[in-house]
Structure 1
Amino acid sequence: MWVHVAVGAVYRQGAILIARRHAHRHMGDRWELPGGKVEAGETAKQALTRELREEVAIRVTQLQPLVEIRHDYGDKRVLLDTWWVTGFDGEPSGAEGQEVRWVPVESLGEFRFPDANLAIIEAIRAQVLAGC
């Protein structure tokens, strides 16, 4: 069974918002793009809007599809429905106690992400090179 996850590539002034996963979670202590599981009856867009409000305390005002990634970790299979978030209200913070930070797009490779996120990072780089 695939777990459908809505992911936000939250972009501001050449940087992407990343968050550190809690140690007890799958792929704990790695960095990730914020987001979460799409619940029954939700669209990915609705789930992402909800998750970004709950997880990093921002209200999305502008987003568009970026890329869909399927990845099988062996113990877990995920569909990462990733959205490019270029408009939001509020200043992001770790609303669930997680560390968050803005990272220049060219520095994303310096952080350890779950394997499924690597293709998303490449899509982000391509989007930025294309002029977002």
Structure 2
Amino acid sequence: MSEFLPEIVVVAAIIRDRENRLCLSRRPEHKHQGGLWEFPGGKVEEGEPLEQALARELDEELGMQGARSRPFMTVRHRYPDLRVTLHFREVTAYTGEPHGREGQPVEWVPLQELSSRQFPAANQP
């Protein structure tokens, strides 16, 4: 059996509102880790700076424009079928109200309720 696994680089947003709740979205059922909650974001394109990738993904997924962000944490995780490097970035500014542009549920979740949500394993830290 080959040890080669596909590898992807992902950027994910830590977005807080004025009440310190976090913005989460639910992955579509047909995607890898479908049905689980996640911090919004997506794949980084070859050569794309992380802040630019996150701004693009937040516009595409949530209708947020001009997102600015700073590094928060990087996690490397190996699933049975995939290796992922997940760059979490804290969003410091944006315009627009986050909403599911791809039909996905989007919710503002209080910090104390995060543990009641099911996340992909790479999001656990």
From 87, 94, 97, the counterpart of 1:88:
94
SS in 2 for 1:63: strand
Amino acid at match of 1:70: R
2:76 matches 1:70: yes
Matches within 5 A, 1:37-76: 37-76=43-82
What is the deviation of 1:80?
0.3
Q: Whole-Å Cα distance in 1 between the matches of residues 94 and 113 of structure 2? A: 23
Partner of 2:3: none
Q: Which moved more, 1:1-10 or 1:110-119?
A: 1-10
Amino acid at match of 2:59: R
Partner of 1:6: 11
Q: Once superposed, which parts of structure 1, at least 4 consecutive aligned residues long, lie more than 3 Å away?
A: none
Partner of 1:25: 31
Amino acid at match of 1:111: R
Q: What TM-score results when the alignment is normalised by the length of structure 1?
A: 0.86
Q: What TM-score results when the alignment is normalised by the length of structure 2?
A: 0.91
Amino acid at match of 1:4: V
The percentage of aligned residue pairs carrying the same residue is 42
Partner of 2:112: 106
In structure 2, stretches of 5+ residues that fail to align are 1-5
Q: Whole-Å Cα distance in 1 between the matches of residues 68 and 83 of structure 2? A: 29
Structure 1 residues 102 and 52: CA distance shift in structure 2, 3 A? same
Contact 1:56 1:95 in 2 (8 A): yes
What is the deviation of 1:11?
1.1
Deviations 1:13-54 (A, max 9, x none): 211100010000111100001000000121111110100000
In structure 1, stretches of 5+ residues that fail to align are 120-132
Bigger Rg, structure 1 or 2 = 2
Amino acid at match of 1:55: E
Contact 1:71 1:78 in 2 (8 A): yes
Contact 2:58 2:67 in 1 (8 A): no
Q: Which moved more, 1:56-65 or 1:19-28?
A: 56-65
Contact 1:60 1:85 in 2 (8 A): no
Partner of 1:122: none
